[in-house]
Amino acid sequence: MQALPPHAVPEISGVLKRHWRLVLYPIGMIPAVWLVWQGQHGALGADPVNVFERSLGLWAFRFLLVCLALVPLRRFTGLNLLRYRRLTGLLTFFYASLHLLVYVGLDHGFDLSVLWADMTHRYFIILGMSALILLIPLALTSNALFLRLLKRRWKFLHRLIYPAAILAGIHFFLSFKTLNRVSAPYLAILALILLIRFLPRSQTGNGI
């Protein structure tokens, strides 16, 4: 294989730096595509709908944790990846929406009576729906236009990610019904991030 000329590597790096969205957004979709492929080929086990639904929810929670962790990461390590908050936030919303769609469509077949019973009596469903509702205005305003229009109110609005994260964490815990090797590490990371967020600024440096 012929090696790239020396000037090509900086050029490729520059293109990726300028157009990282074209690369990272499709990469973020890979888990969803992989799960769909597994479902179509019978690779999701004896209860594929449940596995599909839970896996999408897990990916939503993973991206939520990454989004929340970017500011503490900069504060304690100096590594500035804040440009990816919008990316990880939108991927969180994308996977949470797919999680809901699978629950409504594949799990319950769009049976409105069953859905209504779930959404009014099952607490972990109520909490999950509430978390997703809080994410909707964040997803809709995650662009430069609303940043200019809302100005200081944009930052205040986007603090909704913290109550959404708390609701999502409780929903996540209740969906497992216990702490185990899957749920415990994710919940511990969420608790640590929130602890850093709500500690007095004098103990953690600049606020998130």
User: Rounded to whole angstroms, how far apart are CA atoms 170 and 184?
Assistant: 12
Do the domain assignments include residue 21? no
Do the domain assignments include residue 90? yes
The confidence score (pLDDT) of residue 18 equals 67
Do the domain assignments include residue 26? no
Number of domains the chain contains: 1
Do the domain assignments include residue 14? no
Has residue 206 got a pLDDT over 70?
no
Has residue 205 got a pLDDT over 50?
no
The confidence score (pLDDT) of residue 14 equals 55
Question: pLDDT by residue (tens digit) across 122-132?
Answer: 999 999 999 99
Average pLDDT, the chain: 87
Q: For the chain, state the CA radius of gyration.
A: 19
Furthest-apart CA pair in the chain: how many Å?
Answer: 64
Do the domain assignments include residue 81? yes
Has residue 143 got a pLDDT over 70?
yes
Per mean pLDDT, which of 138-147, 161-170, 192-201 is the most reliable? 161-170
Q: How confident is the model at residue 16 (pLDDT cuts 50, 70, 90)?
A: low
Question: pLDDT by residue (tens digit) across 83-121?
Answer: 899 999 999 999 999 999 999 999 999 998 988 998 888
Has residue 53 got a pLDDT over 60?
yes
Do the domain assignments include residue 5? no
Q: What is this structure's pTM?
A: 0.87
Has residue 23 got a pLDDT over 60?
yes
Q: What is the DSSP string of 129-195?
A: HHHHHHHHHHHHT-SHHHHHHHTHHHHHHGGGHHHHHHHHHHHHHHHHTS--TTHHHHHHHHHHHHH
Do the domain assignments include residue 89? yes
Residue numbers of the domain that contains 200: 47-204
Q: How confident is the model at residue 202 (pLDDT cuts 50, 70, 90)?
A: low
The confidence score (pLDDT) of residue 8 equals 46
Do the domain assignments include residue 196? yes
User: Rounded to whole angstroms, how far apart are CA atoms 53 and 4?
Assistant: 43
